[in-house]
Amino acid sequence: MSASFDFAVLERAGAARRGRLTTAHGAIDTPAFMPVGTAGTVKAMLPESVASTGAQIILGNTYHLMLRPGAERVAELGGLHRFMNWPAPILTDSGGYQVMSLASLREIDETGVAFRSHLDGSRHVLTPERSIEIQDLLDADIAMAFDECTQFPATREETAASMALSMRWAARSRLAFRARPGYGVFGIVQGGVFADLRQDSARALRDIGFDGYAVGGLAVGEGQESMFRILDETVRALPAERPRYLMGVGKPADIVGAVLRGIDMFDCVLPTRSGRTAQAFTRRGTINLRNARHADDPAPLDAECACPACANYSRAYLHHLCRCGEILASMLLTWHNLRYYGDLMQGLRAAIASGTLADFVAGFHDAQARSRAAA
């Protein structure tokens, strides 16, 4: 089945690749990090501020937007791009994870999931067809197949049954998707920490035929070693000509390791959530701006970063904002963290293109090790 949008691998460095994904609302250079804009906003950021960090695509969420303000309302107002003033590409999560983690009184069967909203207790039903319909109404460039997010830990039998249900839902999601130029739908590989189940899932999705392939159900407590082992087993079972997306993984070291294993796209709430809790990512490790040692420090947060927090303010001032609970602290630190992630992805792309990826990764890990030693 032909893809609804273009994806080209431009350079390779081992399993790592630099590519370009072209959608109805613009191109995305990969490896790419997608800031999370769950409810139609990246928290504490203006859309143009998000774009200034290097982000070319953001993530929205079916579950949250269907409950508030409603997919039909967003469609009547011109779609999510116009509604939130983000003209660039948008990927929407199918809502499966939020149904499992947030909603109450869930009833799961072959049809889908009936649940009560975490907002007001109202009853809703989400099926593969309805999830895809909502993502269409939102005008998402990339829609995700509806899946069941397997609990962790789970037995092999529980994981196999959950994966099989997700594959049946994936086939229905693909059938429900309305193909048009510049838009695509991704399947989601499940299978927990069992390599053979992951490979079975990847084969099932490949047989259905998707425009891209995501790896779900990782970074849920299995540890980095297990995550990388599963990625090694899964990526080799996915089509090389399609983009690969590792869902919900956002620690810098996890991203670097996943890029080395052939992953192209990432999302995580970590940089934005950390920005709201006084945590800053820097080239020399993570900093807690609440710590008293920053109170008299006139130095910038990260001398190599060009974001407004680093260019215009001292660590002492950022510490003051955090200790006072000022909104500006969340704004500046979120901006900085997203710029750090944008710079990390740009560095990875440049290193792949120039054949210096091994040196880049070695420097990254050396800086991380020095930070841990100094802590």
* Residues designated as active site: 93, 267
- Distance between CA atoms of residues 56 and 364, nearest Å: 23
**Neighbouring residues of 223: CB distance < 8 A, sequence distance ≥ 6:** none
Residue 73's identity, in one-letter code, is R
Half-sphere exposure of 316 (CA within 13 A, CB side): 5
- CA-to-CA distance for 309 and 334, rounded, in angstroms? 9
Distance CA 146, CA 165 (A): 10
Q: What is the largest CA-CA distance in the chain?
A: 61
- Note the helical H segments in the chain: 47-52, 62-67, 71-76, 80-84, 96-101, 128-138, 156-176, 195-208, 224-235, 252-260, 270-275, 308-312, 315-324, 327-354, 357-374
* Distance between CA atoms of residues 63 and 340, nearest Å: 29
How far is 60 from 135, CA to CA, in rounded Å?
A: 9
SS (H, E, C) 307-334: CHHHHHCCHHHHHHHHHHCCHHHHHHHH
What 3-state class would DSSP assign to 195?
Answer: helix
For 365, which DSSP code? H
